Amino acid sequence: MSDNVITLMIGISTALGAFGLFALIWGIKTGQFDDQTKFLDGAKFDSEEDYKDAVMMEQKKKEALKKKREKEKNYRPAD
């Protein structure tokens, strides 16, 4: 009985390991792990001024979204 359980566990773990290896190889071959924007973003925001500008723009976007949500929340259609 215990020999059957051990054999089953070895078989299942081997199958899962083979599946994981197949998925890893597939991901590498299809470029799933390539970060295409990493170097472009690094070049775009390489100076401190550009970084500060980007942060300021993000804050402005968040404030505008917050104002829009408040406006929609307070909007009441006419009866």
Q: What is the pLDDT of residues 4-51, one digit of tens each?
A: 999 999 999 999 999 999 999 999 999 887 877 766 776 666 777 877
Same domain assignment for residues 24 and 62: no
Same domain assignment for residues 28 and 56: no
| Tally of domains in the chain | 2
- For 21, the domain range is 1-34
| Confidence check: pLDDT of 56 > 60 | yes
CA 17/CA 24 separation, integer angstroms = 11
Same domain assignment for residues 39 and 29: no
Same domain assignment for residues 30 and 57: no
pTM of the model: 0.44
Same domain assignment for residues 40 and 71: yes
> For residue 41, which of 54, 32, 28, 57 has the smallest C-alpha distance?
54
List C-alpha distances in Å: 63 to 20, 50, 52, 53. 44, 20, 17, 15
